[in-house]
Amino acid sequence: MRARALVVVASVSSLFAFLSPRAAKACSICGCDPAAGMLGLDRPSAQTLRVQVEDRYLAKESGAGEDRESERENRLVLRAQYAPAIPVVFQLEVPVFLWKDHLDAAGVRDDRAFGLGDVSLSARTELFRSGGMVPRHVVSLIGAVKTPTGANAREGGHDHGSAAPVDVPIDEHLQLGTGSWDGLLTLSYAFGPQPWTLFANATGRLNSENSRGFRYGHAAFFTGGARRAFLDGGKLILSLEAQLRTAGKDRFGDGGFDEDSGGEVLYATASAAYALTNDLLLRGIVQVPTVTRLNGTQSEHPVGYLTLGYDFAL
């Protein structure tokens, strides 16, 4: 089964909040969503262009007492993948914040921003493939560069949507971009004894400093999972996976560290996909933090994604 052409992704995080009775601890760095990390497992066919639109709602909290703060955001990602040949795929991701809110210790919104985030460019190549048209073994390497296109010099003032004093730079976490060039490298493996597919990947992320000397902590991601096709022609695909994320603390320009950032978290992710037609695929994803060992005080909620996918051949 293959998905053919335009992919529309609508995040439904709030619909899955009931999966946990309280907020679950989680890492302060993210943006590495399951929907964004499928290039190693799901990729367009040769001479095919895949276009995706992803809408995600995210809520998280950190700090305690007077230092407690919350973030809420609705982020739209425009994503395009093109495969000029079987072993090669190129990907472009353009994130746009429809809104990004910050709430103070009393739960009152004191900042709102919207606009372009950091654009990412990725390339995937297959190092090994065996098994013909439906390969049993595929090993691929994926490299990505995140560019500093998002605004990283926002200042206070109500004209800018911020309650901070006018012309005073606001917190790094409230900026729309990191202001830095960052790189990711992923090694991915998929084993496909149809109707099963087993998969695993490891990703390293290196972050550079921005103009103020701030740097998000370096991070590593390790994922393993399985999926199975059901019904005639494999129209229904169910999957389960676990992902371990570990990140260092964010570092300030003066050399100090944000004590409410970084650490380890284990996520459990479930996915269901159904082919509405031979060319149209509907996919839902739920990601829940399960086991954590984090620095300071951090919390966020389960995240959900809903994807409608369609690829078209050139």
| 178-224: pLDDT as tens digits | 999 999 999 999 998 789 999 999 999 999 999 889 999 999 999 99
* CA–CA separation, 54 and 170 (whole Å): 28
Compute the C-alpha angle 271/192/77, nearest 5°: 40
In the numeric block, the tokens 């994803």 are attached to 285
Spatial contact of 266 and 225, defined as CB atoms under 8 Å apart: no
Whether the predicted pLDDT of 81 surpasses 70: yes
- What type of residue sits at position 2? R
Amino acid at 277: T
Closest CA to 246 of 190, 295, 287: 295
pLDDT (tens digit per residue) in 66-75: 778 788 888 8
β-pair type (137-146, 48-62): unpaired
Q: Which amino acid is at 171?
A: D
Q: Is the pLDDT of residue 302 over 50?
A: yes
Higher-confidence residue: 1 or 201?
Answer: 201
Distances (CA, A) of 137 to 3, 18, 132, 190, 191: 20, 38, 10, 6, 5
Give the per-residue pLDDT at 119.
96
- Determine the average pLDDT of the residues in 222-249: 92
User: Rounded distance, CA 261 to CA 217, Å?
Assistant: 8
Give backbone dihedrals phi and psi of 15, rounded to 5 degrees, phi first: -70, -20
Give the three-state DSSP class for 18. Answer: helix
What distance in Å separates the CA atoms of residue 208 and residue 147, rounded to the nearest whole number? Answer: 11
Residue 34: predicted pLDDT: 52
The most confident of the ranges 17-26, 29-38, 208-217 is 208-217
pLDDT, the chain, mean: 79
In the chain the domains, ranked by start, together with CATH numbers, are 5-313 (2.40.160.40)
pLDDT band at residue 26 using 50, 70 and 90 as cut-offs: very low
Does the pLDDT of residue 35 top 60, yes or no?
Answer: no
The Cβ of residue 210 has, within 10 Å, a number of other Cβ atoms equal to 20
